[in-house]
Amino acid sequence: MSETTEWEGIAYKQVFDEETLGLERRKAYDRDLSIQELENTLQSLYVSEGNNYTGRGPVGDIVMAATIAAYEQFIEEWKKDSRPQR
């Protein structure tokens, strides 16, 4: 990775990890949290991502992409963990 783009990977990983940790804590402490609620938030994030008419810039784009990815992964893992074991 070149020096000029290395910061992007570092920033993405940091935001992704922090968002995932926040979702894990939220799930652990909020008994009312549901997959549906997280999916609704994810849908709002998709809308926000598309409403970039003023331009977020590279940092904002990285934050948005990493946040969405964290939600997508967290939701899929929760669904997988919720399936009955065979």
More confident residue, 31 or 2: 31
- CA–CA separation, 67 vs 11, rounded Å? 11
Domain boundaries, the chain: 12-21+29-81
| Long-range contacts of residues 37-41, Cβ cutoff 8 Å, at least 24 apart | 38/71, 38/74, 38/75, 38/78, 39/75, 41/71
Assigned token pair, 30: 């909020």
Helices (H), the chain: 3-29, 35-50, 57-82
More confident residue, 23 or 48: 23
More confident residue, 55 or 3: 55
pLDDT, tens only, 38-56: 999 999 999 998 887 778 8
- CA–CA separation, 84 vs 8, rounded Å? 39
Residue 32 is predicted with a pLDDT of 96
